[in-house]
Amino acid sequence: MIGDAIGTYVTMVSNLVKAIVFSTLVLVALVLALIIKTMIVKTKQDVGIKKALGYRSFDIRIQILLSIVPVIIIGALIGMLLSIFCSNLIVTVMFSAIGVVKVNFLNNIVMYAIMTVGFSMFAVLVSYLLTNSIKKISPYNLIKE
C-alpha cells in the first residue's frame, strides 16, 4: 500500500523532470534562434566582407559560435547553482498542493554537472546548426543589393 503511493510519486516526479528538461531544451533552442538570426542579419555586411577576403563559411560560423559559447557556459553554470540551492524549495511548494508536506531531495553534484554539460553541448550544437544560413550570404549579392 505504501509502496504503491511512493511509486506514484516517483512516477510523477519522473514525468515532471522529463517535462522540465524538454521545455528547457525547447526554450533554449528558441532563444538561441532569435539571438543568432538577429546577429546574422545585423552582421550580414561584415560576413560578406569576410567572405570576399577569403574566409570560409565554416570559419565565420566558428567565430559566431565562439562569441556565444561563453554566455552559454555562464548561463548553464548559473542555472546549475540555482538548481542546487533552490530545487528543494521549488519542489516542496509544488508538492504541497497535493498534500506532501516535506520533500527533501539529495543533491547529486555529479548529476547536476552532467546535466549542465549536456545542456551546454545542446546549446552549442543548436547554435552551430542555426549559423547554417551564413552559407547563403555572398559578396556578389551584397554588392548587387
What pTM value is reported for the model? 0.82
What's the pLDDT at 2? 60
Kindly report the average pLDDT of the chain as a whole number.
86
Cell of 124: 552549442
Report the share of the chain in percent with pLDDT over 70: 93
Per the CB < 8 A criterion, the answer to whether 88 and 116 are in contact is no
Summarize pLDDT for 79-101 with one digit per residue, the tens. Answer: 999 988 887 787 777 777 777 66
pLDDT higher than threshold 60 for residue 72:
yes
What is d(CA 52, CA 55) in angstroms, rounded to the nearest whole number? Answer: 7
pLDDT higher than threshold 80 for residue 133:
yes
Q: 80: Cβ–Cβ under 8 A, 6 or more apart, which residues?
A: 112, 113, 115, 116
